[in-house]
Amino acid sequence: MMDIVIAGGGVIGLATAWRAQQRGLSVTVIDPAPASKASHVSAGMLPPGNEQLYDQPELLALYLASRDLYPSFAAELEEFAPSGYRRDGVLDAAFDDDALHTLDHQHAFQKSLGIAVERVSAEECARLQPAFAPALGGLLSPDDGAIDPRVMTAALQTALKKLGGTVVHERVIRVDGHTVLLGDGGVVPFDRLVLAAGCWTHRIEGLPKGAIPEIRPVKGQILRLHSDPPLLNLTARALSGGSSLYLVPRLDGELVVGATYEERGYDETVTAAGTNELLTRAAAVLPGAGDLRFAEISASLRPGSPDDLPVIGPTAVPDVYLASGHFRMGVQLSPVTAEAMAAHLTGTAVPDPAVPFSPLRFGG
Ligand code: FAD
């Protein structure tokens, strides 16, 4: 059996590990604290597209492939443990005139892609989400939703281990030939290595300069409130003032409100300003938000590649692969990334939409 080592156990490394182990490879994920970084704080919003896709046809194709895979991906995962997936609709609500125009555009875009969507009136928004402040109108996408990344990554680890895979709680310090050296001095041999350490990926030592593109950190702070029963019925995006705030309710009463977007290097500090921004924006569209129990404010780092697009596939270094750079969409893109990586590792046909995302586009 071919030995695969995956450095990094966020949603990308773990989903890849599960799919690779399913295909008969022997997988070891190495991570000092699996699923503790971006994948831990992420809202897990699975929206019906976003504005980044409008002028990015290759990213759009990748997104659509992953969206198509999600229901079966989650159903298969459910055979091992709850997946945290819900697909009961996303409501985009406009709170000013500009936002209504944005929804016109989004409506046309979704329809052109064949994504189910209907325009809803102000009254319908109030019926669907009674906790909202008065909206001017909205879009309901009944086939989209969200996944709880904490539940999902726990399920991925359970599934991986049940299939015979291993998770080692250590840091990969350096690559040396066909071995990785760990923080505790351990040495783990591999036939193929996948680097999936989010925005820390290029910091793993021992590879030729330029072989791994720099994956920059893009900070996001995110808020978790709690109520019993849940304040919102549906996953939502509230559009106002030229931006959108996502509001992701979990069935247990958690409400995730996100997120800030900050270019501050490797700074994972939770700030008063970030907390204030999220609470203020939430209260503007959800008058009852201030009365909810404050559960958590957290921050982590989105992995951004030099062109802000995912990096998936073999590098110029023999037997070293890369799965990173998923930026704002890592949870959305994990099913297709895992499929593509399992295909690369087993030498089988890679799904077409993943082909343009080769690490070799950066040289190396
Ligand atoms: P990470 O989750 O960051 O995982 C990297 C892992 O590598 C970590 O577990 C870390 O411990 C490990 N590691 C680091 N260095 C080493 C090393 N040397 N050796 C071994 N392991 C190492 N995406 C969506 O699709 N929908 C959303 O709604 C959404 N909301 C978000 C909200 C916020 C606030 C943030 C920050 C991100 C959000 N994202 C969202 C983006 C998404 O979270 C990321 O794209 C995704 O989690 C990236 O996964 P990853 O596995 O590549 O990285």
Tens digits of residue pLDDT in 74-126: 999 999 999 999 999 999 999 999 999 999 999 999 999 999 999 999 999 99
Tell how far the Cα of 331 is from the centroid of ligand 1, in angstroms: 9
Amino acid at position 292, single letter: L
104 Cα–ligand 1 center, Å: 32
Distance of alpha carbon 334 from alpha carbon 337, whole angstroms = 5
Distance CA 109, CA 319 (A): 40
Atom of ligand 1 nearest to the CA of 201: 15
**Alpha helices for the chain (secondary structure H):** 11-22, 38-41, 57-78, 97-113, 122-128, 149-162, 272-285, 334-346
Any ligand 1 atom below 6 A from CB of 171: yes
Is 326 near ligand 1, meaning CB less than 6 Å away? Answer: yes
Q: Are 164 and 21 in contact (CB under 8 A)?
A: yes
Share of the chain above pLDDT 90, in %: 98
Q: What is the pLDDT of residue 52?
A: 86
Cα of 196 from ligand 1 centre, angstroms: 9
Cα separation of 169 and 198, whole Å? 16
Query: In sequence order, what are the beta bridge partners of 218?
Result: 302
CA distances from 118 to 122, 126, 209, 325 (A): 13, 15, 50, 33
Q: What is the mean pLDDT of residues 298-327?
A: 98
Q: What is the mean pLDDT of residues 188-200?
A: 98
* Average pLDDT of span 157-169: 98
Q: Whose CA is nearest to atom 53 of ligand 1?
A: 198
Rg (CA), the chain: 20
Question: Which of 172-194 are b and which e, b meaning 16 or more Cβ less than 10 Å from the residue's Cβ?
Answer: bbebeebbbbbeeeeebebebbb
The pair of three-digit structure tokens given for residue 117, joined into one six-digit string: 């969507």
CATH topology for 3-46+150-214+306-362?
FAD/NAD(P)-binding domain (3.50.50)
Closest atom of ligand 1 to 43 CA is 28
- What local confidence, expressed as pLDDT, does residue 109 receive? 96
Question: Does the Cβ of 195 fall within 6 Å of ligand 1?
Answer: no
In CATH, 90-143+217-304 is 3.90.245.10: no
Ligand 1 centroid vs 47 CA: distance in angstroms? 18
Q: How confident is the model at residue 328 (pLDDT cuts 50, 70, 90)?
A: very high
Cα separations in angstroms, 324 against 103, 116, 314, 317: 31, 30, 12, 16
**At residue 268, does pLDDT exceed 80?**
yes
pLDDT at 42: 98
Mean pLDDT, rounded, of the chain? 97
ipTM over cut 0.90:
yes
Residue 8 in contact with ligand 1 by CB distance below 6 A: yes
CATH 3.30.9.10 residue ranges for the chain: 90-143+217-304
- Ligand 1 centroid, distance to 136 Cα (angstroms): 35
Q: What stretch(es) of the chain map to CATH 3.50.50.60? A: 3-46+150-214+306-362
The reply to whether the predicted model has a pTM over 0.90 is yes
pLDDT of residue 22: 98
Q: 267 CB contacts (<8 Å, ≥6 apart)?
A: 219
- Given a cut of 80, is residue 364 above it in pLDDT? no
What CA–CA distance (Å, rounded) separates 241 from 307?
27
